[in-house]
Every structure is written in structure tokens, then in C-alpha cells.
């Protein structure tokens, strides 16, 4: 009598999610170390201990994987829920800005370095994949932060001048984070500053710029 073959159990959804997360983490480390151009799916599959079909299943291709890594990196550094928690409430806008700067400098405790390195590479040399990151991660977070800047400067939310203020806050934080992790003599000098001193310095720097921009905006009206 012929036995009916017993079907192999399908991988559970949690197994698939774990595999996807492992591929993302390994790809992030690889892209941080070598960049997009010099990292192959074969390298990532070997390090993640998966086959190439798994990468194609979860991410379609290498470009899809890289875009997913950019999005994951941005979420690890500053998740939208974290941003909304910080900027929400009825505290003075200045206090919320100071807390936002503290968060941007510190990010989530205990996280690996690859998210900041990958994003830093993409910011310094933007590629075609940056548009996905902007639409899915950056723009929603910008919309969450703009009201604080509007309160401080008095510039309406729909005025382009307000959007120009954002790099004055975010760019110095990114620069300090990248420099502080660079392993250079400058990084040693950066680490000589206490976190509180660094936050206060960047807060005053941002407030000075925002005050000047606000005054100039209203003077021209």
C-alpha cells in the first residue's frame, strides 16, 4: 500500500519575519562597510545564512533590499512615533526643540552604528533610492516637526521659508553623530564634551538661527 506523502510544514509567519529582519541587519552592516555598489546579494546571503531566493522573496532585488535598509536605518534613528511623542504636548516650543535635539543626538540606546553610516553615505552622495526614503520616512517626520519651528519663528506652516529652517536643526546633529563615531582625533575631541553641553550648544545654535530667520521673515512682510 502506497503511503500518501506528508506535506512539509510551511514556515510560519514569524519565521519569515525573523528571516527578513536578519537579512536587513546583515545588509545594513554590509552596505555600511562597503557601500551599495560594492555589496552583492551573494555576500549578504552568505552572512545572513539564507539563500538568494529568500532575498528576492522578501525584497524583490538588490535595489529593493537597499531601499528597505535605508527605511529601516531611518526608523532606527528616529521613529515617527518617537518624534510625535517629543513634539506633542503643550510645553513651550523651545523645550520641545531642546528635547528633539537631545533625541537626534542620542537616538535609541544600544543600537548598532550601521544606520547612521548608511544614511550618511546616502546624504553625502545621494542616489536614485533616496526618493523612496524621502516619501516614506522623511516627509512624515518633517510634517511632525514643522509646527515647533513655526511656533518659534512665527512663520506660517505653508510658507516655504519654514521648510528651509529644518536643515539648520537636523544637519548639525547628523554631522556631530557622524564625526563622533569616525575614530579620528576630532572624534576624541567631540567625546570630551558632555552630552548636556553638546545638546545645549546645538540648541542655542538652532535658536539663534531660527530667531534671525523669523525676524527677517517678518521684516520683509
Query: What does the alpha-carbon distance between residue 22 and residue 72 come to, in Å, rounded to a whole number?
Result: 12
The CA distance from 79 to 174, in Å, is 15
Ordered domains of the chain (ranges, CATH): 15-74 (1.10.10.60), 79-220 (1.10.357)
Q: Going by C-beta distance under 8 Å and a sequence separation of 6 or more, which residues neighbour residue 49?
A: 22
pLDDT of 170: 82
175 band by pLDDT with thresholds 50, 70 and 90: confident
Mean pLDDT is lowest, of 3-17, 66-80, 147-161, 164-178, for 3-17
The span from the CA of 53 to the CA of 51, in Å, is 5
Kindly report whether the global pTM for this prediction surpasses the value 0.85.
no
**Does residue 68 have a pLDDT over 90?**
yes
Q: 3-state SS of the chain?
A: CCCCCCCCCCCCHHHHHHHHHHHHHHHHHHHHHHCCCCCCHHHHHHHHCCCHHHHHHHHCCHHHHHHHHHHHHHHHHCCHHHHHHHHCCCCCHHHHHHHHHHHHHHCCCCCCCHHHHHHHHHHHCCCCCHHHHHHHHHHHHHHHHHHHHHHHHCCCCCCHHHHCCHHHHHHHHHHHHHHHCCCCHHHHHHHCCCHHHHHHHHHHHHHHHHHHHHHHHHHHC
Looking at per-residue pLDDT, the higher value among 105 and 12 belongs to 105
What does pLDDT average to over the chain?
86
Higher pLDDT, 59 or 2: 59
Which among 40-54, 116-130, 176-190 has the top mean pLDDT? Answer: 40-54
Reported confidence tier of residue 31, pLDDT bands at 50, 70, 90: very high
**Crossing angle for the helix pair 139-153 and 166-180, to the nearest 10 degrees:** 120
Amino acid at each position: 500500500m502506497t503511503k500518501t506523502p506528508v506535506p512539509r510544514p510551511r514556515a510560519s509567519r514569524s519565521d519569515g519575519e525573523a528571516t527578513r529582519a536578519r537579512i536587513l541587519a546583515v545588509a545594513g552592516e554590509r552596505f555600511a562597510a562597503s557601500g551599495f555598489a560594492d555589496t552583492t546579494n551573494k555576500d549578504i546571503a552568505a552572512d545572513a545564512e539564507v539563500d538568494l531566493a529568500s532575498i528576492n522573496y522578501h525584497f524583490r532585488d538588490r535595489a529593493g533590499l537597499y531601499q528597505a535598509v535605508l527605511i529601516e536605518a531611518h526608523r532606527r534613528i528616529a521613529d515617527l512615533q518617537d518624534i510625535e511623542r517629543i513634539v506633542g504636548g503643550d510645553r513651550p516650543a523651545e523645550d520641545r526643540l531642546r528635547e528633539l535635539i537631545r533625541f537626534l543626538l542620542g537616538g535609541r540606546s544600544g543600537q548598532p552604528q550601521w544606520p547612521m553610516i548608511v544614511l550618511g553615505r546616502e546624504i553625502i552622495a545621494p542616489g536614485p533610492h533616496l526618493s523612496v526614503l524621502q516619501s516614506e520616512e522623511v516627509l512624515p517626520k518633517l510634517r511632525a516637526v514643522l509646527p515647533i519651528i513655526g511656533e518659534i519663528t512665527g512663520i506660517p506652516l505653508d510658507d516655504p521659508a519654514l521648510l528651509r529652517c529644518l536643515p539648520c536643526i537636523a544637519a548639525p546633529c547628523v554631522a556631530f553623530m557622524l564625526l563622533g563615531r569616525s575614530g579620528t582625533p576630532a572624534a576624541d575631541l567631540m567625546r570630551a564634551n558632555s552630552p548636556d553641553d553638546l545638546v545645549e550648544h546645538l540648541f542655542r545654535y538652532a535658536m539663534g538661527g531660527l530667531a534671525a530667520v523669523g525676524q527677517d521673515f517678518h521684516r520683509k512682510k
